[in-house]
A and B are shown apart, each in its own frame.
Chain A
Amino acid sequence: MPNKRPADRASPPRRRFLAKLSLIPATSLAGAGVLAPLPAGAGSSASYAPSFFQPAEWAFLVAACDRLIPSDEVGPGAVELGVPEFIDRHMQTPYASGAIWYMPGPFLDAPAEFGYQGRLALREILRVGIAAIDAACRRRFGKDFASLAAADQVAVLKAAESGKLELPEIPEKTFFSYLLGEVRNGYFADPSYGGNRDMGSWKMIGYPGMRADYIDWVGERNKAYPLPPVDLSGRRG
Chain B
Amino acid sequence: MMAEVKPRVDAVIVGMGWTGAILAKELTDAGLRVVALERGADRDTQPDFAYPKIVDELEGSVHRRHLQSLAQETVTIRHRVADTAVPYRQVGSFKPGTGVGGAGVHWSGCHFRALPEDLELRSTLVQRYGARFLPAEMTIQDFPLTYEELEPHFDEFEYVCGTSGKAGVLQGVPQEGGNPFEGSRQREYPLPPNPNYLGAELFYTAAREMGWHPYPIPASNASRPYVNPYGCQMGPCNFCGFCSDYGCLNYSKASPNVCILPVLRQREGFELRTRAQVLKIDLDSSGRRATGVRYLDANGGEVEQPADIVLLCAFSLYNVHLLLVSGIGTAYDPETGRGTVGRNYSYQNLNRVVLFFDKDVQANPFIGIGGAGTTMDDLNGKQLDNAQAGFVGGGIIWARQPGAGPVRGINLPPGAPAWGTEWKRAVRDSFRHSFYYEVQGACMSYRQHYLSLDPTYRDAFGRPLLRMTFDWHDNEIRASQFLVGKALEMCKLLKPKALAGDAKKPGEHYNVTRYQSTHTCGGAIMARIRRRRH
Contact = CB atoms under 8 A, between A and B. Distances in A.
The answer to whether A and B assemble together is yes
Interface of A: 67-70, 72, 74-75, 93, 95, 98-104, 106, 108, 110-117, 154, 157, 161, 180, 183-185, 187-190, 193, 201-202, 204-208, 210, 212-215, 217-225, 232, 234
B251 interface: no
B198 A234 contact: no
Contacts of B236: 215
Contacts of A208: 366
Contact of B367 (A190, A204, A205, A214): A214
A102 B511 contact: no
Contact of B241 (A99, A112, A189, A212): A212
B86 A223 contact: no
Interface stretch (B34-42, B89-97, B322-330): B89-97
A205 B92 contact: no
Label chain A's interface by main secondary structure. Answer: loop
Contact of B70 (A100, A110, A184, A215): A100
Given A116-B89, A215-B238, A98 B406 contact: no
Contacts, number: 172
B197 A218 contact: yes
Contacts of A185: 58, 62, 407
Contact of A102 (B63, B71, B424, B509): B71
21 contacts: A69-B420, A69-B424, A70-B420, A99-B71, A102-B87, A102-B89, A110-B86, A111-B509, A114-B86, A117-B86, A183-B419, A204-B427, A205-B432, A206-B428, A212-B51, A214-B241, A214-B366, A217-B367, A219-B195, A221-B362, A224-B432
B456 interface: yes
Nearest to B249: A212
A19 B389 CA distance: 63
A207 B405 contact: yes
Given A114-B86, A225-B432, A232-B56, A75 B424 contact: yes
Contacts of B511: 112-113
Interface hub of B71, B89, B425 (most chain A Cβ within 10 A):
B89
Interface of B: 51-53, 55-58, 62-64, 69-71, 74, 77, 79, 84, 86-92, 195-198, 236-242, 249, 362, 364, 366-368, 405-407, 410, 418-421, 423-425, 427-428, 431-432, 456-458, 509-513
Contacts of B431: 205-207
A95 B63 CA distance: 6
A140 to B, nearest CB: 21
A214 B419 CA distance: 30
Contacts of B79: 113
B52 A100 contact: no
Given A69-B419, A188-B407, A204 B241 contact: no
Contacts of B70: 100-102
Nearest to A232: B52
B70 to A, nearest CB: 4
Contacts of A202: 406
Nearest to A114: B86
Nearest to B471: A113
B97 to A, nearest CB: 13
Contacts of B249: 212
Contact of B89 (A117, A183, A214): A117
Nearest to B367: A214
Nearest to A86: B58
Contacts of A218: 195-197, 239, 367
Given A204-B424, A212-B242, 17 more contacts: A67-B419, A75-B424, A95-B62, A100-B70, A100-B71, A101-B90, A115-B89, A183-B419, A201-B406, A205-B431, A207-B405, A207-B406, A210-B55, A214-B239, A217-B367, A218-B197, A232-B56
Given A115-B513, A212-B240, A214-B239, A102 B74 contact: yes
A156 to B, nearest CB: 13
A221 B198 contact: yes
Contacts of B509: 111, 113
Contacts of B197: 218
A13 to B, nearest CB: 19
A116 B420 contact: no
A115 B77 CA distance: 11
A176 B319 CA distance: 38
A101 B88 CA distance: 9
A68 B362 contact: no
A232 B56 CA distance: 7
